[in-house]
Amino acid sequence: MGDEERVEEAPKKGGKKKLIILLLLVIILLGAGGGAAYFFLFKKKPSPAQQAAVPQPVQPAAPAMPAAGVGQPGAVVPQYFYKLDTFIVNLADEGGSRYLKVTMTLALSNKEVEKEIEKKLPVIRDAIITVISNKYYKDIATPAGKLALKREIMARVNILLTTGKVVDIYFTDFVVQ
């Protein structure tokens, strides 16, 4: 009988260890889940002082109108637009096998810029083609890449303009093949 009691006690001790380990794992998982839920659900927005401390990217300034971004609350929507013909340009990827088909509309700071663009259209189209043809697929595949492309095109075109500025660019067609 003494042997039988020892046999019964051994599984109980092993079972207690397993139970303790299982309870610890459950507590850790619940703590981690609760911490994650708190972090994502109750995350504080940075204070204005903290936001001012974070450096903001420098954007070209428009003299008459701020750049209007999609979804920006309080952004002024430009009143003057110039729709460019579609561009089909080979990307800089090896072998020239990828190309970008893009149609864009330029948002202008004033009406006079439209007339200037019409006069300088071949030079402006060449500048845009040069910018696009130096891009790799990986450069324009992400939303951040598309935004960088817009900024680079805008900067290149604004160098050519004297009566005003392009304040934003809207891609109305954007296909990479």
In a domain, 2, yes or no: yes
In a domain, 157, yes or no: yes
pLDDT value for 59? 45
Mean pLDDT along residues 57-84: 60
What CATH number is associated with residue 164? Answer: 3.30.479.30
Helix H, strand E, coil C: the string for 135-177 is: CCHHHHCCHHHHHHHHHHHHHHHHHHCCCCCEEEEEEEEEEEC
pLDDT band at 86 (very low <50, low <70, confident <90, very high): very high
Pull the structure tokens for residue 43: 């995350």
Asked if 8 and 80 sit in the same domain, the reply is no
Q: In this model, does residue 166 exceed pLDDT 60? A: yes
Look at the chain and count its residues. Answer: 177
Asked if 35 and 84 sit in the same domain, the reply is no
In a domain, 97, yes or no: yes
Smallest CA-to-CA distance from 174 within 102, 105, 125 is with 102
In a domain, 120, yes or no: yes
Burial, 168: exposed, middle or buried (Cβ in 10 Å; 0-12, 13-18, 19+)?
Answer: buried
pLDDT band at 78 (very low <50, low <70, confident <90, very high): confident
d(CA 22, CA 145): 47
Domain count, the chain: 2
In a domain, 52, yes or no: no
Pull the structure tokens for residue 153: 């095109």
Asked if 89 and 24 sit in the same domain, the reply is no
Q: In this model, does residue 146 exceed pLDDT 90? A: yes
Residue span of the structural domain in which 30 resides: 1-43
Mean pLDDT along residues 152-174: 95
- Name the DSSP letter for residue 103: E
The model's pTM: 0.58
Q: In this model, does residue 40 exceed pLDDT 80? A: no
Asked if 34 and 106 sit in the same domain, the reply is no
pLDDT band at 67 (very low <50, low <70, confident <90, very high): very low
Residue that wins the pLDDT comparison between 40 and 110:
110
User: What b/e sequence results for 36-66 when a residue is b if at least 16 CB atoms lie within 10 Å of its CB, and e otherwise?
Assistant: eeeeeeeeeeeeeeeeeeeeeeeeeebeebb
d(CA 91, CA 126): 15
pLDDT of 102-124, one tens digit each? 999 999 999 999 999 999 999 99
Asked if 104 and 146 sit in the same domain, the reply is yes
